[in-house]
């Protein structure tokens, strides 16, 4: 809906959509080449496993650590043990009198890490075009500024080791806004917002309910009435359906008078400013970029949204959070639905069915990552960073921590916009984090999958905690499922207590109390050192095998909650007819046949519990069985059912299942007019397709022999020429 406001020049800007989804500065991103791709679902993917040594990362050649004017103690010896062959240099005031030492280090070859994020902009400016790439790590608020800071040397080593992990560049989506904004309100507050924005944007104000609003002499933008029935789209491309739409009459004198209203009007705009005070127009509205909402009774909130809207003109880049491979998707086959995990979890409805797979609208996607964490095949994968890079970071942190002399670490996953401020406040005004708690900032906590949790325990974590907002901005069902599966696996392997959990709080003191109440859990005695490159399922498969090897009480099979991406199938073999429809729809090759014999085989390691076999089975004899069988990866295909083939009685060719053919013949003989008891025509059922045609042709087989001739159909002429017809 275009208004009559003045146009302004479009400023070009770079924008990571939603500031609180911007990658945290504590997690550096550097470009690398990723040459590993999966060829087909169910096949052994080309992923690589590295092993040996404690810390196999390539740490920075030079690491500069600073005590920040002796406000924290630096255990250089522990950091040296954790960071391997790196050259550790300690300073008292690196950003001040000792800045020349930074200049010298920045000119050397090799990667440089500076253990300070507070003065990151200063160091980047001073480095200029230095020879060494620079990574930054925060060891002050996360480790040194704590009542247990003297014991935080291993944690500092872990944080510095994590900074050496390089991540690839993430793809971007470009959105272009002309600044067309619809302000949806109910009183003068919406009109006032329009006045504030009219010099910057192309404004239209639409009022939901009109009272006695005085008509001004002139306005630089249109004011209309209407009620938004539905809203869809994204920033720069919103589409609204409006009922009771009407323009004001030019003859409005002391207050607005309107023309006859119309319904079903469609409007398009770049930005929507909702001051109606009603229910949000979109689900998870805080994640819908370009949709701004404020309580009209709160003038300060209205002003903040107005200021936010003013800058939304120009070209903007947002991350393409999810990389999607349609060929790997197990959503549907032959109009039958199988996997729908991502559809159930997406808070913004950015995922929709699209035939045999789903489609992900990158413009709407807010990057929560729940679809990628839950995707059983790897069709949806997170790009900020990829799952294997995230696992490499966890590996680097935990192995460096143990190598530096630390024990029983607790890994704390948090996002940059919620968790980082809580940790900062705790460090500046409280006791700081405990020495064994290692924080790791991620883009979204809900992006973390089961492979990261299982891998962390294999690498020597004693506990794993997710820090969430007291009131999450969107549903976190996907994360709850991940926690439930992880707890089932860990308890099944003999890890006592509540090892994995979420913490929902906005209070730093409450955060500290919960961290202190975790208890002294014990990690595995000898942490694993494996390093894998591949998709989530590949990472999970190897992490599970390593954790099983190191577990206190390893077992062969563990039952999992419903919805798990790993498991087996139960087949009622008595009701199975070996029609093999399940084999034809299985997207991973977990269910297989044999070209030589009627047989149904199953490979548990390939099953993703998509449910397509269950939906497709005409006999309804297949049920899913979520579980982990730790021997499945090395097991051969298991025969579920096998029968004798039906051999053609004329040529001997196998053409079906003997029991099925016998059952069909028994049901037809003497019960169908084509097959009287003892008639030789029944032999045709026991022949292959080719012989059946030959025999029927040789014997001049007439399927309608003995059947009374059918009366011809009656036409209109027949009715018109009936004797009793009045015409």
Residue 40's CB: how many other CB atoms inside 10 A? 12
Q: Is residue 481 part of a domain?
A: yes
In whole angstroms, what is the distance from residue 485 CA to residue 564 CA? Answer: 7
Q: Is residue 709 part of a domain?
A: no
The parent domain of residue 363 ranges over 320-382
Contact criterion met (CB below 8 Å) for 549 and 467: no
Contact criterion met (CB below 8 Å) for 476 and 418: no
Q: Is residue 365 part of a domain?
A: yes
Same domain, 512 and 587: no
Helix (H, G, I), strand (E, B) or coil at 242: strand
The domain tally of the chain equals 4
In whole angstroms, what is the distance from residue 455 CA to residue 444 CA? Answer: 19
Q: CATH number of the domain that 274 lies in?
A: 3.50.50.60
Same domain, 165 and 192: no
Q: Is residue 419 part of a domain?
A: yes
Q: How far is CA 623 from the centre of its chain?
A: 26
Residue that is written with structure tokens 């994968």 in the block: 381
Phi/psi at 148 (nearest 5 deg)?
Answer: -110, 25
Which of 292, 317, 342 marks a domain boundary? Answer: 317
Which of 620, 642, 664 marks a domain boundary? Answer: 642
pLDDT of residue 727: 53
Same domain, 118 and 193: no
Residue 409's CB: how many other CB atoms inside 10 A? 26
Same domain, 371 and 420: no
In whole angstroms, what is the distance from residue 593 CA to residue 578 CA? Answer: 9
Q: Is residue 686 part of a domain?
A: no
Same domain, 391 and 537: yes
Residue that is written with structure tokens 């070859």 in the block: 109
Same domain, 502 and 595: no
Going from the C-alpha of 150 to that of each of 73, 410, 459, the distances in angstroms are 6, 18, 24
Contact criterion met (CB below 8 Å) for 571 and 600: yes
Residue 520's CB: how many other CB atoms inside 10 A? 10
Q: Is residue 402 part of a domain?
A: yes
Contact criterion met (CB below 8 Å) for 28 and 119: no
State the number of CA atoms in the 13 A half-sphere of 600 facing the CB: 22
Identify any residues that bridge with 431 across adjacent strands, giving them in sequence order: none
For 96-100, the CB contacts below 8 A with 24+ separation are 98/66, 99/126
Which of 355, 382, 409 marks a domain boundary? Answer: 382
For residue 556, give the DSSP letter. Answer: S
Residue 159's CB: how many other CB atoms inside 10 A? 27
Q: How far is CA 29 from the centre of its chain?
A: 20
Q: Where are the strands (E) in 384-445, listed by range?
A: 410-415, 437-442
Same domain, 138 and 281: no
Same domain, 448 and 574: no
Instruction: Give mean pLDDT in consecutive 10-residue pieces for the chain, a chain of 727 residues.
Output: 34 30 30 28 41 48 94 95 91 95 88 94 86 88 96 97 90 95 92 93 89 67 93 97 90 76 95 95 94 94 95 95 95 92 96 96 96 95 95 96 96 96 96 97 96 98 97 94 97 96 96 91 95 91 96 96 94 91 94 90 95 94 96 90 88 85 81 71 84 80 67 83 67
Same domain, 390 and 503: yes
Contacting residues for 210 by C-beta, under 8 A, at least 6 apart = 225, 256, 258
Q: CATH number of the domain that 333 lies in?
A: 3.30.70.20
Q: Mind giving me the DSSP string for 96-151?
A: TTTHHHHHHHHTSSS-EEES-STTHHHHHHHHTT-SS-EEE---IIIIISSTTGGG
Same domain, 331 and 365: yes
Q: Pairing state of beta strands 112-114 and 134-136? A: parallel
pLDDT of residue 268: 96
Q: Is residue 418 part of a domain?
A: yes
Cis, peptide link before residue 385, omega less than 30° from 0: yes
Q: Is residue 366 part of a domain?
A: yes
Same domain, 181 and 310: yes
Q: CATH number of the domain that 628 lies in?
A: 3.30.70.3270
Same domain, 331 and 304: no
């Amino acid at each position: 809906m275009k208004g009559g406001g003045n146009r302004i020049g479009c400023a070009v800007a770079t924008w990571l959509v939603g500031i609180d989804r911007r990658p945290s500065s504590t997690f550096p991103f550097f470009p690398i080449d990723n040459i590993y791709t999966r060829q087909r679902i169910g096949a052994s993917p080309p992923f690589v496993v590295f092993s040996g040594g404690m810390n196999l990362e390539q740490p920075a050649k030079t690491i500069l650590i600073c005590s920040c004017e002796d406000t924290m103690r630096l255990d250089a010896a522990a950091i040296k043990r954790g960071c391997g062959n790196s050259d550790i240099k300690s300073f008292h005031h690196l950003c001040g009198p000792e800045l020349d030492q930074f200049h010298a280090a920045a000119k050397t070859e090799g990667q440089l890490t500076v253990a300070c994020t507070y003065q990151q902009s200063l160091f980047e400016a001073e480095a200029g075009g230095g020879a060494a790439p620079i990574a930054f790590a925060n060891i002050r608020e996360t480790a040194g500024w704590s009542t247990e800071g003297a014991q935080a040397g291993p944690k500092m080593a872990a944080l510095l080791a994590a900074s050496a992990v390089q991540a690839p560049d993430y793809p971007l989506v470009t959105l272009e806004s002309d600044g067309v904004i619809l302000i949806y309100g109910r009183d003068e507050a919406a009109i006032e917002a329009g006045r504030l924005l009219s010099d910057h944007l192309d404004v239209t104000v639409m009022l939901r309910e009109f009272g006695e609003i005085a008509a001004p002499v002139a306005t630089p933008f249109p004011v209309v009435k209407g009620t938004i029935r539905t809203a869809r789209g994204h920033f720069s491309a919103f589409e609204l359906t409006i009922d009771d739409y009407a323009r004001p009459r030019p003859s409005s004198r002391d207050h607005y008078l309107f023309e006859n209203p119309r319904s079903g009007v469609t409007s398009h705009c770049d930005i929507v400013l909702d001051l109606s005070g009603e229910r949000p127009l979109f689900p998870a509205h805080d994640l819908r970029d370009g949709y701004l909402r404020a309580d009209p009774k709160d003038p300060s909130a209205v002003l903040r949204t107005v200021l936010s809207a003013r800058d939304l003109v120009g070209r903007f880049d947002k991350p393409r959070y999810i990389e999607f491979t349609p060929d790997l998707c197990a959503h549907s086959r032959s109009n039958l639905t199988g996997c729908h995990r991502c559809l159930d979890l997406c808070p913004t409805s950015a995922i929709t069915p699209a035939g045999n797979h789903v489609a992900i609208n990158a413009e709407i996607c807010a990057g929560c990552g729940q679809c990628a964490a839950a995707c059983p095949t790897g069709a949806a994968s997170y790009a900020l960073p990829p799952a294997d890079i995230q696992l490499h970071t966890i590996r680097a942190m935990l192995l460096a921590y143990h190598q530096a002399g630390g024990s029983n670490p607790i890994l704390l996953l948090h996002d940059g916009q919620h968790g980082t401020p809580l940790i900062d406040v705790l460090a500046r005004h409280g006791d700081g984090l405990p020495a064994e708690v290692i924080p790791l900032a991620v883009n979204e906590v809900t992006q973390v999958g089961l492979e990261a949790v299982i891998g962390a325990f294999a690498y020597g974590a004693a506990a794993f905690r997710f820090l969430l907002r007291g009131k999450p901005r969107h549903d976190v069902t996907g994360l709850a499922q991940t926690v439930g599966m992880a707890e089932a696996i860990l308890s099944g392997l003999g890890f006592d207590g509540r090892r994995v959990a979420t913490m929902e709080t906005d209070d730093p003191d409450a955060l500290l109390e919960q961290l202190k109440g975790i208890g002294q859990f014990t990690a595995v005695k000898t942490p694993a050192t494996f390093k894998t490159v591949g998709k989530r399922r590949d990472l999970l498969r190897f992490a599970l095998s390593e954790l099983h090897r190191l577990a206190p009480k390893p077992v062969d099979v563990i039952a999992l909650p419903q919805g798990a991406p790993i498991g087996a199938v139960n087949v009622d073999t008595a009701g199975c007819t070996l029609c093999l429809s399940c084999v034809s729809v299985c997207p991973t090759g977990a269910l297989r046949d044999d070209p030589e014999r009627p047989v149904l085989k199953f490979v548990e390691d390939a099953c993703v519990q998509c449910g397509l076999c269950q939906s497709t089975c005409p006999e309804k004899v297949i049920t899913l069985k979520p579980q982990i069988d730790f021997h499945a990866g090395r097991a051969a295909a298991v025969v579920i059912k096998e029968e004798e083939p039906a051999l053609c009685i004329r040529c001997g060719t196998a053409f079906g299942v003997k029991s099925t053919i016998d059952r069909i013949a028994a049901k037809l003989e003497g019960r169908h007019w084509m097959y009287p008891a003892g008639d030789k025509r029944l032999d045709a059922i026991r022949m292959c397709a080719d012989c059946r045609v030959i025999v029927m042709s040789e014997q001049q087989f007439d399927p309608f022999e003995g059947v009374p001739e059918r009366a011809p159909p009656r036409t209109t002429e027949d009715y018109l020429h009936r004797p009793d017809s009045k015409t």
